[in-house]
A and B are shown apart, each in its own frame.
Chain A
Amino acid sequence: MDPAGIFATSYRQDQSLIRTRNQAFALLIFVVALFALPMVAEVRSVAVMTSMLITAVVVLGLQINTGLAGQVNIGQAAFMGVGAYSTAVLASKLHLPFWLALPAGGVFAALFGLIFGLAAVRIKGFYLALTTIAAQILFHFFVLNLPQKWLGGSNGITLEPAELFGFRFETDISMYYLCLVVAMIMIAGGYGIARSRHGRIFAAVRDDDVASGMMGIDVVRTKALAFLVGAFYAGIGGGLWAYYIRFVAIDQFTLIHSIWFIAMIIVGGMGSITGALIGVFVIRMAQESITSMGPALVERIPFLGGDLVFAAMNIFLGGIIAGFLIFEPRGLMHRWNIAKQSYRMWPYPY
C-alpha cells in the first residue's frame, strides 16, 4: 500500500522498489551509514557485520529457493561449501584471480544445486527436505574421500587474500568493504529476480504447482532454476567466506548451519527479500549479544556458573525461533507491513 498521494502512472513506476523521495533518501542514508561503519564502529562490530553480509548472500539464495519458489532446502550450507571449496581450489591450485574464482565458485555450486533441483521436480515437501539433507552428506563424503590432491581431504585448503587491481584485501576493514559491495550486487539481483516474471513464476509454482503447470508454466524448468539460482547465491557466499577465513574445511558447512539459515528466513519472513536480510540481522545480533553478555553475567552472578548461564541463553535463542513459528509464522516482515499500513492509514482503522 502506497502512502497517501503517491500514484503510479506507468508500469515501470508501479514496479519500482523506491516509490517516494523519502524512501530514496532513507536508502541513501542507509548505504552511506554502511560505508561509514568502519570509521565509527569498533573492530568487533565490523567483523560481525562482515559475517552478516556473507550470511545474507547465502540466506538470500535460500529465500529465492524456498521462500519464493517453495522448494524446501535443508542443504544450503552444502551448496555454500561447494562454492567455498571451488573458489579455494581455483584460487590456490589454478591461481585464478579473485574476480574469476568467486563467480566460478558460484557456478560450480549452482551446478551441484541443479542436481537436487532435478530431484525436486518429482518430489516435494518432506521428501525433498530429505533429499537436500543428502546434499549435505554427499558434500562431506566427496571432500573426504576424493584424492587429497583434488579437494584437500581432511586437511582443508588454505588460500591467499583476495586481490583486485593490485590491492590485497588483508585487513578486516578491506574485507568488510569487499563483502559489502558483493552483497549489494547480490541483493540488487535478488530484488530484481523477485520483481521480474521469474519471481512471479516462482511464486506461482510455490502456491500451486499443478495449477501453474496447467496455466502453461514449465514447472520442471522453474524448480530446477530455483535451485540453480539459490545454489549460485550460496556459492558466492561460500567464496566470500573462503577469502574471509582463508581456510576451508568441511566442518564449516554442516547441517546445523543449514538449519540456522532456515531459521533466519522464518524469523525474517518467508518470500520476502527484505525479510531474509532482517532475519540474518536479528539472529546474528541475538547470537552476538548472548556471546557478549555471557561473560559479564557470569562475573556478576558467579554462583550460576558459566555453563548454566550460556546454556540458558542458548535455550532462549532456540525459543525465539520456536516462538516465531507458533505465533508469527510470516516473520518480522509481516509485523513490519502491518505497522507500516497502520501508520499510513492512521487515524483510520482500515
Chain B
Amino acid sequence: MIKQKIWASVRVRHALGSAALLAVLGSGSTVYAQTTYNIAGIADFTGPFADVMKDITGCRRGVLDWWNEEVGKSLGVTLKVKEHDARYDVAQVASLWPGIKAELNPIAVWGLGGPDSNALQQRLPNDKVPLLLGTAGYGFAWKDGSWVFNARATYPHEAAGFYAWYQKKMGGGPLKVGVISSEVSPAYVDIHKGVERFAKDNPQILEVVETIYTEAQPTDLTQQVHRLLRKGATVIQVFNNTASVVATRRALQSLGKGNLPIVVSAHNGLLSSGKALGDLNRMEGSYEVYGMAIPTDDPTAARAFFEKLRTQYKTQANFTSPCMMGLATSLLTVRAVEQVVKIKGPAGVTGADVRTALQTNAFPSELTFGVLPNIKFSNDAPFPTSGLAVNIGTIEKGMYKLVEQSAPVPNVNKW
C-alpha cells in the first residue's frame, strides 16, 4: 500500500515534471527567429584620428546595441558591426576591403572620410554596398549615382550657413573672411575653393580677403595672420585641424586681436581646440559650425539619447563631435534598414536595398533624435543638397553653448 502510494507520487512528479519541461520548450517557440546582418566599420586606431576613435566607434556600437534591443527585436533583425583599423590610409582600405566583403558580406560600410571614399568609390557600384560617412562631403565627390553617403553636406555648405547667419547677426556690409588652409590634403584645398566660389556668387554676404597656405601642423602663424588682419579680415576660417586653430589663436592674441572670431568645424571643434590651448576661455567668441547637433550640456534630444546609450547600454564614449559623427552614421543606417524591412521583411536585405532606402526616403530630425537635421538624399550628390541647416556653437563666458540651431544654408553652386 505504502509502495503503491510512493509509486503513484513518483509518477505524479514525473508527469508534473514532463508538463513543466514541455511548457518551457513550448515557450521557446514564441521567441522570433532573428536574421543577422553585418556592417563593416572602418576605423583609425593608429593614424591621425586615433585619439577620437574611441568616441566614434563607441557611439556607433551603442546605437546598434540600442536598436537591436528596442527596434530590431520586433522586426526580427539583428545588426552587428566589426571594426577594422585602416589607419586613415587609402592603401590599407583598398587591401582590407576584399577580405571584409568576403568575410562579412556587409549591407553597409561605415567609413571615416576621404581615404575610404577614395579607395572604395569605384568599387562600391560593383560590390553593391553603400558607404556612409559622418564627415562633411567634398566637392570632388559631388557626382551623381554615388554609393557614398555623407550625413552632412560639404564643408563649404556648412561654412556658407555660418556666414549667412553671422553676416545677418553683425549687420552692415559683407564679412571679410581670411581662410587658413593647407595643400597637404586635397580635402583642405577643396574646402577653401568651395568657400571662394560661394563668396564670388554672394558678394553681399562675404569677401575672402586671402587664403593662407600653411604646413600640416603649423606652430606659428603670426606673420600670416598679420597679413590677414592688414587686409581687414573680420573672421578667420580654420577648417584644417586643431594645430592650425591653436596657432591662429596664439597669433591673434600676440597681435592684440584676441577677440577676433575663428570659425571651425566638427573635427577640430571648440572643445578639442580649447583643450589643446590649455584653456577653453581662450576660444571665447569663436564659433563652430556643422550640420549635426552640437554636443553641449544643454538638455537636447541628442543629449538625452546619448545618456540613454551610456546608462542603459553601457556605451563607452564621451559626448563630443566625433561621437556625433558616429551617431549620425549609425542612426541613418538603422533607419534605412527599418525602411527596407518594412517593405521586404527581415530576410534578404542587401546593400543595394539599403542604398535605395537612403535615396528614396526622407529622414526627419526626430528619427535621429535631433543628431541630424531633416535629411533627404537624391541621386545628384552623395550628400543632401536641399533643405540644409547647420547648428552653430560658441564659447561664451567659458561655457560651451549652442548659439543657433537649424540656421538655413543658402544655395552653394558646384565649384
Contacts and interface: CB of A to CB of B under 8 A. Distances in A.
B53 interface: yes
A328 interface: no
Interface stretch (B96-104, B275-283, B343-351, B370-378): B96-104
Task: Count chain A CB atoms within 10 A of each CB in B51, B103, B122 and give the residue with the most.
Answer: B122
A314 B46 contact: yes
A306 B43 contact: yes
B91 interface: yes
A218 B50 CA distance: 50
Contact of B186 (A48, A144, A158): A144
B311 interface: no
Nearest to B190: A154
A298 to B, nearest CB: 8
Interface stretch (B112-120, B219-227, B242-250): B112-120
B183 A309 contact: no
Interface string A140-165: 11001000000001111010000000
Interface string A44-63: 11111011000000000000
A307 B115 contact: no
A288 interface: yes
Contacts of B101: 43
Contacts of B157: none
B186 A155 contact: yes
Interface in A246-302: 246-247, 249-252, 287-288, 290-291, 294-295
Contacts of A48: 95
B122 A246 contact: yes
A310 B50 contact: yes
Contact of A306 (B83, B140, B187): B83
A271 B190 CA distance: 42
A170 B98 CA distance: 13
B53 A306 contact: yes
Max count, chain A CB within 10 A of own CB: residue among B53, B99, B101: B99
A43 B99 CA distance: 5
Contacts of B46: 290, 310-311, 313-314
Given A154-B187, A251-B114, A244 B85 contact: no
Nearest to B119: A245
Nearest to A308: B45
Contacts of A42: 99, 102
Contacts of A291: 84-87, 92, 96
B183 A141 contact: yes
Most buried by A among B87, B186, B193: B186
Interface string B192-207: 0100000000000000
Contacts of B183: 140-141, 144
Nearest to A45: B99
Contacts of B189: 144, 153-154
Q: Binding site of B, secondary structure by majority: helix, strand, loop or mixed?
A: helix
A287 B98 CA distance: 17
Contacts of A51: 91, 94-95
A249 B85 contact: no
Contact of A46 (B98, B139, B190): B98
A275 B32 CA distance: 58
B335 interface: no
B185 A251 contact: yes
B71 interface: no
* Most chain A CB atoms below 10 A, which of B95, B122, B190: B95
B95 A156 contact: no
Interface in A196-250: 244-247, 249-250
A125 interface: no
Contacts of B121: 158, 247
B413 to A, nearest CB: 15
Contacts of A140: 183-184
B50 to A, nearest CB: 6
Contacts of A158: 121-122
A245 B98 contact: no
Given A42-B99, A154-B190, A172-B98, A245 B118 contact: yes
B267 interface: no
B186 A244 contact: no
Contacts of A192: none
A331 B162 CA distance: 56
Nearest to B141: A155
A305 interface: yes
Given A172-B98, A245-B118, A252 B84 contact: no
B274 to A, nearest CB: 21
Interface in B30-84: 43, 45-46, 50-51, 53-54, 57, 82-84
A28 B97 CA distance: 31
Contacts of B123: 246
The 6 closest A-B pairs by CB, nearest first: A44-B99, A310-B45, A154-B186, A155-B140, A246-B122, A154-B189
Given A294-B45, A306-B45, A306-B54, 20 more contacts: A43-B98, A44-B102, A44-B103, A47-B97, A51-B91, A51-B95, A144-B183, A144-B189, A153-B186, A156-B186, A158-B122, A244-B94, A245-B119, A245-B122, A247-B122, A250-B186, A295-B82, A295-B83, A309-B45, A311-B50
14 contacts: A43-B99, A43-B101, A44-B99, A47-B99, A51-B95, A153-B186, A155-B190, A156-B118, A245-B94, A246-B122, A249-B114, A251-B186, A291-B86, A307-B50
